Structure 1
């Protein structure tokens, strides 16, 4: 029969003896069932047996018993809370995927100056200016970095401004379908500066991230998906 010595009767404190018994119980449980954790019922059963076998002349103090019971309750509470968080995360991810499915076929604004134009259409984007510009110049380049078109959008105040390109080159010819880049520059403090541009892209499909729980969007013309959380704006239907 396994017994627990009263506090002070051996070199180990009651809590140390209790910990040793728990570890031994865990090892036996692993061999028998292959499980690697004890449940609260196991702890309570072990504690009951230990209390029944303690030295009646040197019983365990109430504060030690309460502390140990509180420890068991805390461990069990954390375990249940982790399970609940896991279920909540799955539910939120599923809800996000359901909401994101309504974006299929719509345009979203993404933090990329490169996007895709259709064969008969153009491209649109957005630029944020931290200061006013006397003349905001827009450059259109192809995938090779070749300049195809420039146009002046005039004076602009600080803030967000929409950019629209009709898809034509300097001669008015419609350019073929493909990936193009929009760049914005202007004079600021007597020096030419470039500003970050975001562009609109069409959503082809929605998928869940690989093990990350993130909702991802497959966009037309992009090999890699974008996170739903990276979308800056949803275009109008």
Structure 2
């Protein structure tokens, strides 16, 4: 009959759940430790057929297999702990960034009351007639910044927060777009904006996430610069 053994020791090692008993992890109750393995090996030697004893190489192979399995399990546990420590260390380092500004790949910026915003433009070659259009949440252009010609590379820019009429723009999110003439053709250049870090989140598939004021979360690995 299935599940029945003639060996009392082996039967005694089977996990038996008492009625009414609760276990947090049944798999842990059925795990064989190194001591259990050697007890099973000893029992196997005692029960072997004297006319067909276990060969030395078979015994060594069994011991080696168990040792390798135990080593792999231990290595996996240490790796998990290492990954957890790395995440905790990243979170601790990221927490020091709260209140500071970071440069991130986005075309939006949060304008704080009485302040301005800044960013960075990149061009693969010399660009002429570089212009930055700034739009509010409704899509209306509130101001255009004329930067003239720009050599290959990156260039920082700043908007003081005023509109075309010279009035202070209300606080909130604004969208930026950069147009320039590159190689005789009009192109839109990539840009990055500075944003203020409000808090730090950990866990999940994204790992350490910086929560930016008005812009939501961004992965720590996407940050280009810390001000």
Match for residue 214 of structure 2? Answer: 221
Aligned positions of 1:183-202 closer than 5 A: 183-202=177-196
Give distance in 1, aligned partners of 2:38 and 2:56.
16
Residue 114 of structure 2, aligned match among 112, 120, 127:
120
Q: Which runs of 5+ in 2 are unaligned?
A: 1-5
Cα distance in structure 2, aligned partners of 1:25 and 1:218: 55
Deviation of 1:60 (Å): 2.4
SS, match of residue 145 in structure 2? strand
SS at match of 1:73: helix
Name the SS of the counterpart of 1:214 in structure 2: coil
Query: Which of 33, 40, 44 does residue 39 from structure 1 map onto?
Result: 33
List alignment gaps of at least 5 residues for structure 1: 4-20
1:230 to 201, 222, 227: 222
Specify the alignment match of 2:124 in structure 1.
130
TM-score by length of 2: 0.84
Q: 1:38 to 1:123 in 2, by over 3 A?
A: same
| SS of corresponding position for 1:171 | coil
The structure richer in strand per residue is 2
Q: For residue 39 of structure 1, report the CA deviation from its aligned partner.
A: 2.2
CA distance 1:37–1:30, change in 2 (3 Å): farther
- Residue 73 of structure 1 and its aligned partner are, at CA, apart by 1.0
Per the alignment, in what secondary structure is the counterpart of residue 128 of structure 2?
A: coil
One of 168, 175, 180 as aligned partner of 2:169: 175
**Which secondary structure does the structure 2 equivalent of 1:185 belong to?**
strand
CA contact 1:139–1:151 (8 Å) conserved in 2? yes
- In the alignment, what sits opposite 1:154? 148
- Report the TM-score when normalising by structure 1: 0.80
Count of residue pairs brought into register by the alignment: 213
Q: Are the counterparts in 1 of residues 199 and 211 from structure 2 also a CA contact under 8 Å?
A: yes
Q: CA RMSD in A?
A: 2.3
Aligned partners of 2:90, 2:106: CA distance in 1, in Å?
Answer: 23
- Structure 2 contact 206–219 (Cα < 8 Å) conserved: no
> Runs of 4 or more off by more than 4 Å in structure 1?
30-33
3-state SS in 2 of match to 1:200: strand
Deviation at 1:59, TM superposition (A): 2.2
